[in-house]
Amino acid sequence: MKKIIITDSVDKKCAGILEAAGFEVTYKPGMPKEEIQKVIKNFNGMVVRSDTQVTPDLIELMDNMEVIGRAGAGVDNINLEAATRKGVIVMNTPGGNTISTAEHTMALMLSMCRNVAQSNQSLRSGKWERKKFSGTELWGKTLGVIGLGKIGREVAVRSKAFGMTVIGYDPILSEEIAGKIGVDLVDLETVFKTSDIITVHVPLSEETKNLFSDETLQKCKDGVKLINCARGGIINEVALVKALNSGKVSAAALDVYTKEPPEFTGELIQHPKVVTTPHLGASTDEAQEKVAVQIAEQMVDLFNQKGVRGAVNAAAVESAGNKDLIPYVKLAENLGMLHSQLNMGQLKKININYSGELLHSSMTLLSTAVLKGFLSKKMTAGVNLINAPFLAKEMGIKLNETKLGANSNYSNLMSVEFITDKETRMLAGTVFGNSEIRVVHIDEFHLELNPEGNMLFYANIDKPGMLAKVGKILAEANINIAGLSLGRLDLGKKALTVINVDSEIGKEVVKSISEVGGVTEVYAVKV
């Protein structure tokens, strides 16, 4: 009989489903780590939420563990590398809070527009201030949705029902899918300039951090309203307060903050034009029950050999038996992450070409790894090697795979081409020795790049002094250079430079480098 331990406060329907399937369940939410360490060797399965920290030392004690289930999306509290090395599958339930977060967004939108929270507080204090709290209707307004993943699309559908015109920005959603839900796909500038209300549903990344800043807020309509139920840090809180005080932003509704919990006495939380909630997007009875039921059903199917659903690392566990393939899976994922940060425009198609017998035999896994890397930088939902193909199909992404003959220079080579409405970009990579992943072609340039960590990409005129000017800017920002890769067409013509660095490259540094004469197409990238 399989034994499963639940160490966090998961809805009890999870235990009920597992017990009904014939498993022995130990339900001990809040169990101290020391106690878990004493008994974990006896269990085949484990269910957690976010409280239990599943660390490498705990995983090392899991002599009989087959699966760790996370009732929710994030798996930050589970060490995936240690679990994979141990051969333990890690599962999550990324779609469980879609409806609850979409509905919370609508609740904040209505509350913000009709001053529900402020007027409630006023009335409770004994005041009758009808004129002060006059609001605005949703009908006829233009809603800009930044990020049209599952949650963003659900918000769009609900907003259409209120009679709103919905426009959206999402670089990977196809026009066909957007059209089905009645959303006009536009660029980010158009969202800023034409939206009466803007709601964000994107992950926090270098690309989206401070997406709303002093500069971008000035591009918005006077009196724009903002909603953030995604991640703190997407809206710069200092810039938001300034825009609220000036009237550029007429109202804001926030469920997430740069620091959680936020500064309760700070100007943002106390601002009369702001509606705030304490990160309640997924906090509904239905959502918590849904993820509990979902993780239980996934574990039952796994133990009964009916398939693997929601696994974060199942393919990695499977490929662990082929040591030659492991670095190529990592290479494929990193190529996807690079493309997600280097491509401009609306994605139209992905072409992946494989050379070499090892890659020919593993095309499905490697293509999935490319999609995982790409989507993980673009979506708020947890992306893994199981759900990446489904998410790509849901977004309308077209993928073509081709087997090519032997390459004259490399025994195994994969090239990944992304075609957008603005450009076509190709990255090709291989593995040197047993495990050294390398990018060997970027578009028309041949080079040798280690695609890991923080990197600076830029094009430049191939002439003396260019690298010195960029290096000086990095040095002044206290950014240390760890590696350098160069590619050029001919003396005096276009060249490509990629610099590996030891720390993140901020937007101000990117701006300074972009202002160097002869330097173009500057990107700060992190994989």
User: Of these residues, 231, 339, 425, 441, which one is catalytic?
Assistant: 231
Tokens at residue 344, please?
């401009």
Could you tell me where the DSSP H helices lie in 130-250? 150-161, 175-180, 188-194, 214-217, 237-246
**What angle, rounded to 10 degrees, do the helices at 507-514 and 466-476 form?**
150
User: Of these residues, 34, 130, 176, 260, which one is catalytic?
Assistant: 260
Cβ of 330: how many Cβ atoms within 10 Å? 19
Candidates 316, 349, 312; CA nearest to 332 is 316
User: Of these residues, 85, 279, 446, 488, which one is catalytic?
Assistant: 279
CA distances from 189 to 144, 175, 217 (A): 11, 18, 11
Cβ-in-10-Å burial (0-12, 13-18, 19+) of 181 comes to middle
Cis peptide, bond prior to residue 203, ω within 30 of zero: no
Q: Are 184 and 166 in contact (CB under 8 A)?
A: yes
- Give CA–CA dist 12/14, Å, rounded: 5
Is 231 labeled as catalytic in the residue annotation? yes
Q: Are 7 and 46 in contact (CB under 8 A)?
A: yes
> 107 phi and psi, to 5 degrees?
-60, -45
Q: What is the DSSP string of 21-32?
A: TT-EEEE-TT--
Length of the chain counted residue by residue: 527
Q: Are 71 and 29 in contact (CB under 8 A)?
A: no
Active site residues: 231, 260, 279
